[in-house]
Structure formats: C-alpha cells, structure tokens
Chains A and B, each alone.
Chain A
Amino acid sequence: MSRLINSKSATGTQATRVLGLLAIVVMLWVVVSGLVFTPQDVVQGESVRIMYVHVPSAWIAYLAFILTAVASASWLIGKKHSMGFDRFAGASAEVGVMFMAITLLTGSLWGRLTWGEFWQWDPRLTTTAFLFVTYLGYLAVRRLDGSAEQRARRSAIMALLAVLEIPLVHFSVVIWRSLHQGATVLNPSGDVKLDDLMLFTLFSGVVGFTLVFFWLVLHRQRTMLLVDVVNSRGLDAAIADRRAEAGN
C-alpha cells in the first residue's frame, strides 16, 4: 500500500496505459467512421449518427450495473469480504451512471430530431430514468456515514436489488407499447435490420466504450483504494494518539 501511495503515477500501470491507448485508437475510428464513412439513414438522415454513441453507452451502463451486482455478490458471499470487490462495485457504478447520463442526453437529442420531442414519459424512457435515479441513490448510500464494512454491506444489498431493473428497462419496449423503437440488434427474432457498415461502426463503438469503461473503472477503484489507505492511516494515527494519551 505504501508503495502505491508513494508512487508518482499511483493509479496507472503499464496495462492501463496500453488499455488507454487502445481505447483512443478505437474511439478515433468510431468518430471517423460514424461521422464520415457511414451513410445517412433513409428516414432519419444525419441524426442516425447519434446511434453510435447512444446505443453503446446504454449497453455499457447495463454492463457496469451488472458488474456492480456481481462484485457486490462476491463481497457478500466471500468469506474474507475483500474490500477490493466493494471498491470495484462502487467504481463500476460511478462510471455506469456517467454512461447512463450520456444515454439519456443523446437519446433526448435524437428524440427531438425524430419524434419531435426531447422527452416523453413512455415505458422505455421512464424506466431508464428510474434506473438512473436508482443508481444515483446507490452512490448516495455509499457516502453514508459508517465503517467501510457497513458501506460495503449496505451498497451490496442495494446493488443486488437495483440490477433487477435492467430487464425491465430492456424489455419495456416488448412488454408495453412504447414510442421508443424495439431493439435492433438484441431483438428476440435475431433479424438485425441494420446496414453492414452501420452495424460494424456500432460494434466498434461498443468495443471502444468498453475499453474506456475498464480504463476508467481501474483508475477509479485505485483512487478509492488510496482514499481507504489514507482513512486507515488516519485511524491508525488516532489510535496511536489515544494510546499515547492513555500512557501519560
């Protein structure tokens, strides 16, 4: 820990630098392909390009929240209650909330151009907003007073409950009649009605956003580790002070 806290680039490693470089290369390709190479859509025209950000960010938000739940379950089930799982859960949720915000923002812009409205309380939009608010609540729970173990236990339980909303969000367009269109790629029939280069660029976006996600999570969880180390040192110092007082 002391080696980590004294290091000049405490949250970076050779692996994260390679990951970051890869993310930059893939995202550059997504930007160029999305803005230049891919064609306009026959109905939407240029606004179809929003899809290359909107869809990957939604999927990565789902991935982030699922990983949060998996890490939370690992913390709860594990005999050692490793705080590494808790930090990973927290970092993943934070980055997931960021991607969910991007999803809502880009979706709103696309909605204005296509539906004629920035927002409508239709099933997909409403459940997505609810998912976003739930994970804001999860982040608030992580900041409640208490020991690291209390934080981990409370947030782990909440993460396991909150992740249940994801199927509701994804299948809201199937369960109810929605203004939002049904899934194009992850649809139950498996018939993907998307031109080849559009599909390739979309998947490039998913790969790029995934790399960005892991890069951010790795750095964030190491930042959290440093905070825990500092807090732990503060506690050690307080105990030492009390011992010194008691010894006087």
Chain B
Amino acid sequence: MDLSPRPSDQPDESGAVSSSSSRPKRRWLPIVVLSLLGVGGIVIVTQFLTSAIDYYCNVDEIGVREGCETTSRLRVQGTVEQNSLKKTETKTRFVMTFNEKSIEVVYSGDPGGVFQECIAVVAHGRVVDGVFESNRIEVKHSNEYVEKNTERFETSGSAACSQAQG
C-alpha cells in the first residue's frame, strides 16, 4: 500500500483531480520572510553595528585616540560643567569636561529635554578653531535613580548637580 503524498494535479483512481485544499499553499512565505530577516540582519551588522561600536570619544581623547581625529565628524562625551551653561535665542554654549580635559561646545538651538548642567552628554559635531560646533546633543543618563528632593535641588541650582553633590 502506497501512502506517499499524491500530487495535487494527478487524477486519482476515479479520474477526479484531488483537492489541494488541505495542503499548505503559502510555502514561499516563510522563505521570503526568512530571506528578508537575513538581509535585515546583515544590514544591521554591516552598516549600523560597526558605527555603533564605541559610540563616542571622550573629551580627553579628541585628537589623541584613533578614530577621534579633529578632521572628522565626532560624537564626543563629557559632563556639562557647572556654571558654564549660557543660552541665547539661537545658540547654547557650555563647557564639556571629561577626565580633567575640557572643550567649549556651541550648539545651534536649545537641546531641551533633561539637558542641564552636571549631566553627561554626547555631542555630535566637528572641532572648528578649538570649539566643538554641534548640531545634535544627546543626554546620557547614568544608572542612578534618585528621588526628586526639591530642597536639595534649589540649593544646587540643577537637579543633576544636586545628584552629583549627593
């Protein structure tokens, strides 16, 4: 007795073409999905992961570390120095420090969000005449979570500075 699957277009003993309704019709779908996922994965790894590894240079590495050359566009990480923040209508100026090295940053616009003094940020931009001209600022939150304390906040002038001072 032959129990192997019968081709759908082959007539059976009665001469009728067997119905294929019980067979899965979308065999190509998993293959297409798998191919798309594979291509997506390769694109992520080759295009984005390489640029993502070591997301930034620290302030003290500008012009020193490989990949942190002043001639190219950089992502630079440091802490916004206390009492250095100055905002005008179109520009935000502050000093960013890391490991006792500082650089002046000029950002076109207002970073908004939780940006403030004493907070770690990653600035995207270029070094021009010793000043870091940035067009994107990302706030880099620490792994500390502290209850908001209004009194401590008011004496330090900035929530992040109050956190830094403990």
A residues near B (Cβ < 8 Å) are: 39-45, 48, 51, 113-117, 120-123, 125-127, 129-130, 133-134, 136-137, 140-141, 143-145, 176-179, 181-184, 187, 193-195, 198, 234, 239, 242-243, 245-246
Contacts and interface: CB of A to CB of B under 8 A. Distances in A.
Nearest to B12: A245
B116 to A, nearest CB: 8
B129 interface: no
Contacts of A134: 41
B28 to A, nearest CB: 10
26 contacts: A40-B147, A42-B149, A42-B160, A43-B116, A43-B119, A48-B145, A114-B139, A115-B138, A115-B139, A116-B137, A121-B52, A123-B49, A123-B52, A123-B55, A126-B44, A126-B48, A126-B49, A129-B44, A133-B37, A133-B41, A144-B31, A145-B27, A177-B55, A178-B55, A179-B122, A181-B141
Interface string B109-128: 00111111001001000000
Contact of A194 (B115, B145, B163): B145
B140 A245 contact: no
Contact of A114 (B37, B141, B146, B160): B141
A114 to B, nearest CB: 5
Contacts of B45: 130
A121 B77 CA distance: 16
A116 B55 contact: no
Interface string B2-40: 110000000011000000001010010111011001101
Interface of B: 1-3, 12-13, 22, 24, 27, 29-31, 33-34, 37-38, 40-41, 44-45, 48-49, 51-56, 77, 111-116, 119, 122, 137-149, 153, 159-160, 162-163
Contacts of B34: 137, 140-141
A45 B113 CA distance: 10
A117 B40 CA distance: 22
Nearest to A173: B143
Given A51-B145, A140-B34, A145-B24, A43 B159 contact: yes
A143 B31 CA distance: 10
B26 to A, nearest CB: 9
A151 B27 CA distance: 14
